[in-house]
Structure 1
Amino acid sequence: MGVPEKTNFLFSREFITLNAITFLTYCNIAVFFQFHEYLGTLPIARDRFGILISLFALSAVIARPLVSPFLNPSNSGKWIGISSVLVIGSLWLYSFADDFFTMACVRLLHGAVHTILAVAVLSRMVGFIPRERSGQAFGLLFVVVLLPYAVVPPVLEPLTRGLGGFGHVLEFSAACMALVFPLLWLGNRKSPITTLPAAESISLRETLHNLKDFRLLMVFLIAVIVWTAFTPVFYFLKGFGEKLGIDNPGWFFTLSTLTEIFVRITAGSVFDKFDKVKLLLGSLLWTGLGYAVLSQVSGEWGLYALGLALGIGWGISMPLLSSLTFDYSQPRFRAVNSNLTMQMFQLGFFLGPALGDATLVHWGYETLYLVCSGVMIIGTVAGLMLIWHPKRFALENR
C-alpha cells in the first residue's frame, strides 16, 4: 500500500521493484549510444541524423503533458504493463526501418510509448516516497536512471559484433524488457492497486495554475539546460573519442556513472540537510567547467579523468532538480510536477541533439562542447534567481 506522509520508511517492496523497472526502461535508451553511427550505415542523408535522434524526444515532449495529469499512484500500474508491451514492439520495428520516413515513424512511436511507461512508473513511485526522504529517494532514482549509461555503452561494441549488428542488439533489448512483467507482479503481490488511495485526475487548468510558482518554473528551466548540455556528450562522444584515437570511449560513461552512484549513495541523505539550491549552483558551475575542459581534451586518460569529474557534477545536479520540484510542489501536484521535470529531460534530449548536431557539422567537437559550457553558465544564472527571489516573485502572488 502507499506510504503515508508521516512515515519515513523508503525501501518498500514497491519502491525497489519500481526502481528495477526504471532500470530496464532506461537500458533501452542507453542502448542508442551507437545510434548516430548506426544511421551512417543506412541510406539516410547525413544532415538528417540530428533530426532522427531528436524525434524520439519530440514525441515525448508532446506525449508527456497529455498523459501526466491522468496518471497517479492508484491507476498507473496497469499502464506500466500496457506501455511495456508497446515499447517491446517498437524496439523490434527498428530492424524494418531503413530510410528516413520509416525511421522517423519508429522514433516517434518509440518516444511516445517510452514516455507513457516512464510517466506511469514515476507516477506510481511518488506514492511511496515520504517527503522527509525526497532527496535520498530521487538521488537513488537518478542512480537507477543513469546506471544503464555505465553498463551499456562499453558492452555495445562486443555485443554488436556477437549478435551480428545493431538491429539485433535492439531485439535483445526488447527481450530484456519482458522482465518488467514479473517485477510488476512482485511489486503488486501484497499491495494491489486497489489498496492505494484513490486519486482524482487533475485538470489542465489546475495544472497550469500550479505552474504559476516562480520557483517551479526556474527549476524546470534549469532542468532543460542541464539535459540540453548533457545530450551532445552522450550522443556524440563516440565520434569524438574515435577522433582522438580511443577504441572504446564508452568507458567514459562507465566512469562518470560510477562516480555519480558513489556521490548519490554517500551524499543522498546530505541533500536533505543542506541548502539544496546552493548545492545545485555549485554543481552547475562544476559541470560547465568540465564541458570547457572536454573541448580541449586530447588523450584517453584525460577523457577518462574528465568522466570522473563530470560524474560529480551530474551526480549532484540531476537528483536535486527532482528533489526541489518535489519540495516546492503541493502534495496533490507532486506526481504531475515530478513528471514535468522528466518532461524537461525529454525537451533537453530534443534540443541537445538537434542543435548539437548542427553545431558539430559546422564547427566541430571543440566548439560543440564550449557551447555546452556556455549553456551551463545560463543555468547557473537561473539558479541564482532561486536564491535572490525564492518566494517573493511567485507569479500567483502578483
Structure 2
Amino acid sequence: MSKEALWTKSFINIWVSNFFLFLTFYFLMVSLPVYAIHELHGKQSSAGLITTMFLLTAIVIRPFAGKLMQKYGKKTLLVLSLAIFFIVALFYFLPHSVGSLLIVRAFHGIGFGMATTATGTIVADIIPNSRRGEGMGYYSMSMNLAMVAGPFLGLMAINSWGSNTLFLMAVIFAVMAIFTGLFIKLPKTEHTVPVQGEEKKTAKLGGILEPSAIPISIVAALFGIVYSSILSFVSVYADGKGLESVSGYFFVVYAVVMLMGRPFAGRWFDRYGANVIIYPCILLFAIGMLTLSNVNTAFLFLFAAALIGLGYGTLFPSFQTIAIQKAAPEKRGLATATFLSLFDSGIGIGSFLVGFVGDMIGFGSLYFYSSFYILLALVVYYFLHGKAARKSKLINDVPKAS
C-alpha cells in the first residue's frame, strides 16, 4: 500500500514560510541587544527586555489568535498575521532609543504569535493523518534550521554590515514568509460535533485554551525551562571553560544530529506510539545536560550538543504532535495556540530564573542539577500522558475478533 503524499506544494510552502518566520526571530534575537547597547547606548538590563517584550506579546496573543482562527478562518489569519509581521519589520529603521525599540518589538511579537499559531494549525491539516508524527517532525526542522542560521546571520550582519543592512535583511525575510504563505491551499475538513460537556469545559477557560492540549503543554513547558538555559547561556558557559573557539558550533552539531534522527523518530512515532520515542529522548536529554555540566574539552562540549540535539530536538515536535492529535479538527487552532503559549511561558520563566541561579551556583552546577530535574519531568510526563498513552496502545494492539 503506497503512502499518502507528504511533501505537497502546500506543505513545502508552509514549511518555507515558517522557516522565514523563525529565521527572522532568531536573526533579531541575537543582534538587537548588540544594536541596543552599542548604537542606542542602552544598558544590558534594558537590552535584555528586547527579547522578553517580543515573547510576552507573542504569548498573550496566541490564545486569542486561535479563537480568531475559528471565527474568520485559518488562511485569513495567516495572511493578516504575516502582513503585520512584514509591516512592523519596516519600523525597525525608526527607533532612536531602547524605549521606542521595545514598542516595535511588542507589535512584532503580536504578528509573530499570530503567524506561528496559524502555521502550526494549518500544517496539521495539510499532513496526512497516517504520517502525522513524521510530518510534524519534518515541519519542526524549519524552526530548528532557523535556530542555527538565524544567530549566525544576525551576528554577521550587525558586526560586519551594520544596522541598516540588518533591518533590510529582516524585511526581506518577512517578505519571503508572506510570499510563500499566499500559495498555501487548505484541504477541506469535516466538521465534528463537540463532545458533550466539552463546550462548558472550554467556556470555563474563556474559550482561549484547548483543555485537551493543556497536560502535554505543561510537560513541554517544564522541558522548555531547561532548554532556555541552553539558548541563553551555553555560549557564556563555553567562554568560561575556555571553549569560545567552538561555542558557535554547538547549535550546528545540535541541528545536524537532530536532522539525522528526525526521519526515523517520526516514522517510529506513527508506528509504535509516542512513548517509544519520548522516554529514550528524555534520557538522552538528561545525559546530554549531565555531560555538558562538566566539559573540559571541545569534543565533550560538542558531544553534549549531539546528545541534546537528538534528545530535546526530538521531544519538541513529539509534544506538539500529541497536542494536535488530542484535539478535534476544528480545535487544532486552539490546541496549537495553547501548546505554544505554555511552552513559550516555560522558555520565558526559564530565561528569567536561569540568570539568577547561574550567578549563584555557576552554570556547570546549573546544568548538573538540570539533568536530575529532567528525570523528574519524565515522571510528570508519565502521569499526564505516558500512562494513558500506554493503556491506549495496549487496547489498540489487542487482536480483534474476526
Q: TM-score range by the shorter chain?
A: 0.7 to 0.9
Q: CA deviation at 1:144?
A: 1.3
Is 1:171 paired with 2:168? yes
Which residue number in structure 2 is paired with residue 4 of structure 1? none
CA pair 140-33 structure 1, distance change in 2 beyond 3 A: same
Is 1:182 paired with 2:166? no
Q: CA contact under 8 A between 1:52 and 1:104: conserved in structure 2?
A: yes
TM-score, normalized by length of structure 2? 0.82
Q: Structure 2: where are the runs of 5+ without partners?
A: 392-402
CA distance in 2, matches of 1:295, 1:68: 39
Q: CA deviation at 1:152?
A: 2.9
Which stretch shifts more, 319-328 or 92-101? 92-101
Kindly provide the CA deviation profile for residues 339-378 of structure 1, in whole angstroms up to 9, marking residues without a partner as x.
3222223212311221222223444322443354344233
Is 1:242 paired with 2:239? yes
Kindly provide the CA deviation profile for residues 280-335 of structure 1, in whole angstroms up to 9, marking residues without a partner as x.
12212221221232222233332222211211102321111012122322333233
Which residue number in structure 2 is paired with residue 381 of structure 1? 379
Which stretch shifts more, 305-314 or 179-188? 179-188
CA distance in 2, matches of 1:391, 1:302: 35
Q: CA contact under 8 A between 2:24 and 2:150: conserved in structure 1?
A: no
- Among 257, 260, 279, the alignment partner of 1:259 is 257
Which residue number in structure 2 is paired with residue 272 of structure 1? 270
Regions of 4+ moved over 6 Å = none
CA pair 186-60 structure 1, distance change in 2 beyond 3 A: closer
Q: CA contact under 8 A between 1:246 and 1:300: conserved in structure 2?
A: no
Map residues 234-383 of structure 1 onto 2, 5 A cutoff: 234-243=231-240, 244-247=242-245, 249-383=247-381
- Among 108, 111, 119, the alignment partner of 1:110 is 108
Kindly provide the CA deviation profile for residues 223-263 of structure 1, in whole angstroms up to 9, marking residues without a partner as x.
11122211221122333333334236232111101111111
Which stretch shifts more, 306-315 or 241-250? 241-250
Which residue number in structure 2 is paired with residue 29 of structure 1? 25
Name the % identity. Answer: 15
Which residue number in structure 1 is paired with residue 64 of structure 2? 66
Which residue number in structure 2 is paired with residue 141 of structure 1? 139
Which residue number in structure 1 is paired with residue 52 of structure 2? 54
Task: Write the letter of the residue equivalent to 1:249.
Answer: S
Q: CA contact under 8 A between 2:210 and 2:334: conserved in structure 1?
A: no
CA pair 354-274 structure 1, distance change in 2 beyond 3 A: same
Which residue number in structure 2 is paired with residue 10 of structure 1? 6
Task: Write the letter of the residue equivalent to 1:11.
Answer: W
Task: Write the letter of the residue equivalent to 2:171.
Answer: A
CA distance in 1, matches of 2:337, 2:95: 30
Q: Structure 1: where are the runs of 5+ without partners?
A: 1-6, 393-398
CA distance in 2, matches of 1:197, 1:151: 35
Q: CA deviation at 1:122?
A: 2.1
CA pair 134-389 structure 1, distance change in 2 beyond 3 A: closer
CA pair 127-354 structure 1, distance change in 2 beyond 3 A: same
Q: CA deviation at 1:23?
A: 0.6
CA pair 99-349 structure 1, distance change in 2 beyond 3 A: farther
Q: CA deviation at 1:196?
A: 3.9
CA pair 91-296 structure 1, distance change in 2 beyond 3 A: farther
CA distance in 2, matches of 1:352, 1:97: 29
Task: Write the letter of the residue equivalent to 2:281.
Answer: S
CA pair 372-94 structure 1, distance change in 2 beyond 3 A: farther
Which residue number in structure 2 is paired with residue 395 of structure 1? none
Which residue number in structure 1 is paired with residue 218 of structure 2? 221
CA distance in 1, matches of 2:309, 2:382: 22
Which stretch shifts more, 226-235 or 17-26? 226-235
Which residue number in structure 2 is paired with residue 20 of structure 1? 16
Task: Write the letter of the residue equivalent to 2:180.
Answer: L
Q: CA contact under 8 A between 1:135 and 1:323: conserved in structure 2?
A: yes
Aligned length: 378
For residue 273 of structure 1, give the secondary structure of its aligned residue in structure 2. helix
Q: CA contact under 8 A between 1:136 and 1:269: conserved in structure 2?
A: yes
Q: CA deviation at 1:125?
A: 2.1
CA distance in 1, matches of 2:37, 2:54: 18
Which residue number in structure 2 is paired with residue 396 of structure 1? none
Q: Which has the higher contact order (CA 8 A, sep 6+)?
A: 1
Task: Write the letter of the residue equivalent to 1:351.
Answer: I
For residue 183 of structure 2, give the secondary structure of its aligned residue in structure 1. helix
Kindly provide the CA deviation profile for residues 125-155 of structure 1, in whole angstroms up to 9, marking residues without a partner as x.
2221232211011111111111112223334
Q: CA deviation at 1:26?
A: 0.6
Which residue number in structure 1 is paired with residue 400 of structure 2? none
CA distance in 2, matches of 1:212, 1:186: 32
CA distance in 2, matches of 1:93, 1:113: 13
Which stretch shifts more, 21-30 or 289-298? 289-298
CA pair 49-349 structure 1, distance change in 2 beyond 3 A: farther
CA distance in 1, matches of 2:137, 2:387: 26
CA distance in 2, matches of 1:248, 1:136: 32
CA pair 266-212 structure 1, distance change in 2 beyond 3 A: closer
Is 1:230 paired with 2:231? no
